Amino acid sequence: MTRFILRRLLQSGIVLLGVTLVVFLLLQLVPGDPVRVALGTRFDPETYEALRSRAGLDQPLPVQYASYVGQALTGDLGVSFRSGRPVTAIVLERLPATLSLAITAVVFALLVAFPLGVLSALRSGSVFDHAARVFSQFGVSVPDFWMGIMGILLFAGVLGWFPPSGYVALTEDPAGWASHVFLPAVTVGLVTASILTRFIRSSVLEVLAEDYVRTAEAKGLPTRVVVVRHVLRNALIPVVTVVAVQLASLLGGVIVIEVLFAWPGVGRLTYDAVQARDYPVLQGAILLVAALFLLVNLLVDLLYARLDPRIRVR
Amino acid sequence: MSGNGDSTSRRALVALGRDPLAVTGGVVLVLLVVAGLAGSWLAPAGINEVDVDRMLQPPSWAHPFGTDELGRDVLSRVLVAARVSLQVGAVSVGIALLAGVTLGLFAGYYQGWLDNVLMRCMDVLFAFPVLLLAVAIVAVLGPGLSTAMVAIGVVYTPIFARVTRAGVLSVREQVFVRAAVATGASDLRIMRRHVLPNIAAPLIVQTSLSLAFAILSEAALSFLGLGVQPPEPAWGRMLYDGRGFVTDAWWLGFFPGAAIFLTVLAFNLVGDALRDVLDPRQLTVSEARRNAG
């Protein structure tokens, strides 16, 4: 297990280094001078020189990259071209909003997908199974922002049950937070639920065909015991991976939903940074999300290897 | 090896013809292609005909999908926007297919350090959520249809590289490949004539599913104002422009979104049917279930 952990850590480290290179190169790809582009009409020579020097743009490219990685390791992702504030602080301020939305969406998705996926597999070929498959096909095909717009129209416009957009911090007003998170979380959660339903269904179907399940049935064990003890325990191991990957991708992939619902998370920050051409903030947000994505994947792999020893020897 | 490719295509076509969902998906795709090619002629009104007297009119016989905040006919704009979606799907998936297949072929065929370097590069691209990376690329290169297509092509390249590499690894040890090596055929010829036709099936499936995701990604980029720029109509952009009026004019949000949904659904239905016949793992699952039953 130690060798497996070390190998995965090394792999993740190499990929993370590659991620920093891609994020660093983004700034180099900006046509023209990124600081001048960002300052636009607010250009003045003093601010321009200060920002260029602070971003290290007056140095040769390899030196810039080495310094970028070195500073990133100490948590310094530069300063915003717009506000002059440290990027790390700006991005971390937005993280709780994104985390609360992503976690709520995944919890909602699991509440829908787990019973749907398991029952659909246990009753394979039934009307229920067909309905679950239609739901899952619908979910993977529907644009989440369209569903969000329809949700706003129905629940905020027609019924007036939930606010159409906005954010209240969970720590300040839990009830206010719940009413604001409902529409975006359900929108994101339904799409995630459709992916999970499909996966849980096929995972349960695969385990149902295993010899040990047939043996358990042949022993005369009640169906409930066979399903809970033998089928679900084994079928849900790969599901852990998919749930975690979904959660990780939601941390950075809900830009559109955060923009639609004016949810002040990392996705909205990324969008605002793009609009303002605040490249250090854009780089910082992307780097943080990619690093989180890698971290979650690493943790899942380690957990997976712990749950299923066969993984370690592959 | 062309015989193998022919039988793969034939099997795929037969399967598509027998699957009612795939046929439905296919019909929607044909209609989409017709709208894409002839949208300008089919449109009942000009896509940029502004008329302030007809602003935000609900659906009627004169305007079946209503009018937008500038009095333009929504049906005409939805029809003409089909071309953009088709174009984005074809070009961006074309870029991803070309780049991914080339990289995957070389990585899988030569293995060793080249495989390691190329696949670690693909891992790096995989570390970014798809839409986030596309947004970053468009943000840097500037918004517009061309950059959106390049960005979507780049983010979908790794999946094609992985699918290709996996296929090459299983095919390169086959007897017919070793025989081709023994006859002195060049590596490029072996890859083109013997390896590629034998890994076509998973690539066809991946292409069909990627078309759906590419169209969704373009719609998301346009919804963020980073894809197609006005006045050219695009479904995502129409949703973006109409979102401020959605509680007063539901049709502005409904019809462009429904067009995206139907298109993506059609590609997914066809892709799923293709996967059922071409991906042996899927067959194993259903067969296993039948055995268990």
**Three-state SS sequence of chain B:** CHHHHHHHHHHHHHHHHHCHHHHHHHHHHHHHHHHHHHHHHHCCCCCCCCCHHHCCCCCCCCCCCCECCCCCEHHHHHHHHHHHHHHHHHHHHHHHHHHHHHHHHHHHHHCHHHHHHHHHHHHHHHCCCHHHHHHHHHHHHCCCHHHHHHHHHHHHHHHHHHHHHHHHHHHCCCHHHHHHHHCCCCHHHHHHHHHHHHHHHHHHHHHHHHHHHHHHHHHHHHHCCCCCCCCCCCHHHHHHHHHHHCCCCHHHHHHHHHHHHHHHHHHHHHHHHHHHHHCHHHHHHHHHHHHHC
Q: How far apart are the first and last CA of chain A?
A: 12
* Dihedrals phi, psi of A224, to nearest 5 degrees: -60, -40
> Model ipTM?
0.83
Range in A184-198, B167-181, B265-279 with the lowest mean pLDDT: B265-279
Cβ partners under 8 Å of residue A267, min gap 6 = A98, A252, A253, A254, A255, A256, A257, A258, A259, B132
Q: Is residue B40 part of a domain?
A: no
Calculate the CA B243 to chain-centre distance.
25
A112 and A250 belong to one structural domain: yes
Q: Is residue A313 part of a domain?
A: no
- B230 preceded by a cis bond (ω within 30 of 0): no
* B245 touching chain A per CB within 8 A: no
* Mean pLDDT (whole number) for B265-272: 86
**CATH number of the domain that B181 lies in?**
1.10.3720.10
Residue B6: pLDDT band (50, 70, 90) is low
What is each CA distance from A61 to A55, A68, A81, B42, B125, in whole angstroms? 12, 10, 20, 54, 22
pLDDT of B3 over the 50 cut: no
Contact list in A for residue B289 (CB cut-off 8 A) is 124, 205, 208-209
Q: Is residue B282 part of a domain?
A: yes
Selecting from B120, B135, B285 the residue whose C-beta is nearest the C-beta of A270 gives B135
What is the predicted pLDDT for the residue at B279?
A: 61
Distance between CA atoms of residues B192 and B196, nearest Å? 5
Q: How many CB pairs under 8 A join A and B?
A: 150
* A294 touching chain B per CB within 8 A: yes
Largest CA distance in chain B: 77
Q: Which is nearest to A117 in space by CA: A11, A195, A169?
A: A195
A83 and A26 belong to one structural domain: yes
Angle between helix B145-171 and B112-126 (nearest 10): 140
**CATH number of the domain that A287 lies in?**
1.10.3720.10
Contact list in B for residue A31 (CB cut-off 8 A) is 141-142
Q: Within chain A, which residues score under 50 in pLDDT?
A: none
Contact list in A for residue B285 (CB cut-off 8 A) is 202, 205-206, 209
Last residue of a domain, one of A63, A87, A111: A87
Contact, B172 vs B137, CB < 8 A?
no
* Mean pLDDT (whole number) for B168-174: 86
Largest CA distance in chain A: 83
A11 and A124 belong to one structural domain: no
Q: Tell me which of B32, B224, B235, B264 to substitute to probe the interface with A (most A C-beta atoms closer than 10 Å).
A: B224
Last residue of a domain, one of A46, A62, A87: A87
pLDDT of B287 over the 50 cut: no
A152 and A108 belong to one structural domain: yes
Q: Is residue A180 part of a domain?
A: yes
What is the predicted pLDDT for the residue at B286?
A: 39
What is the predicted pLDDT for the residue at A78?
A: 86
User: What total number of domains does chain B contain?
Assistant: 1
A137 and A25 belong to one structural domain: no
pLDDT of B174 over the 90 cut: no
A62 and A122 belong to one structural domain: no
What is the predicted pLDDT for the residue at A68?
A: 87
User: What total number of domains does chain A contain?
Assistant: 2
Q: Is residue B20 part of a domain?
A: no
Domain span holding position B161:
62-292
Give the HSE-up count for residue B66: Cα atoms under 13 Å, Cβ half-sphere.
Answer: 20
Last residue of a domain, one of A87, A118, A133: A87
What is the predicted pLDDT for the residue at A106?
A: 94
A137 and A114 belong to one structural domain: yes
Q: Is residue A48 part of a domain?
A: yes
Please, what sign has the CA dihedral across residues B29, B30, B33, B39?
Answer: negative
Q: Is residue B96 part of a domain?
A: yes
A187 and A218 belong to one structural domain: yes
Answer yes or no: do A209 and B243 touch at CB < 8 A.
no
What is the predicted pLDDT for the residue at B288?
A: 39
Distance between CA atoms of residues A215 and A220, nearest Å? 9
Residue B289: pLDDT band (50, 70, 90) is very low
A71 and A123 belong to one structural domain: no
Q: Is residue B2 part of a domain?
A: no
Find the radius of gyration of the CA atoms of chain B: 22
Q: Is residue B78 part of a domain?
A: yes
Q: Is residue A228 part of a domain?
A: yes
Q: Is residue A199 part of a domain?
A: yes
* A141 touching chain B per CB within 8 A: yes
What is the predicted pLDDT for the residue at B38?
A: 83
A255 and A201 belong to one structural domain: yes
Residue B251: pLDDT band (50, 70, 90) is very high
Answer yes or no: do B246 and A138 touch at CB < 8 A.
no
What is the predicted pLDDT for the residue at B139?
A: 86
Residue B2: pLDDT band (50, 70, 90) is very low
Q: Is residue A314 part of a domain?
A: no
A73 and A38 belong to one structural domain: yes
pLDDT of B189 over the 50 cut: yes
Find the radius of gyration of the CA atoms of chain A: 24
3-state secondary structure labels for all residues of A3-17: HHHHHHHHHHHHHHH
Query: What token pair was written down for A223?
Result: 């169906």
Vertex A119 angle, CA A114 and A122, to 5°: 130
Residue B4: pLDDT band (50, 70, 90) is low
Domain span holding position A55:
2-87
Note the pTM of the prediction, 2 decimals.
Answer: 0.85
Selecting from B127, B236, B265 the residue whose C-beta is nearest the C-beta of A137 gives B265
Write out pLDDT tens, residues A84-105.
899 999 999 999 999 999 999 9
A164 and A77 belong to one structural domain: no
Contact, A304 vs A311, CB < 8 A?
yes
Q: Is residue A109 part of a domain?
A: yes
Chain B (253-292) residues lying within 8 Å, Cβ to Cβ, of chain A: 253-254, 257-258, 260-261, 264-265, 268-269, 272, 285, 288-289, 291-292
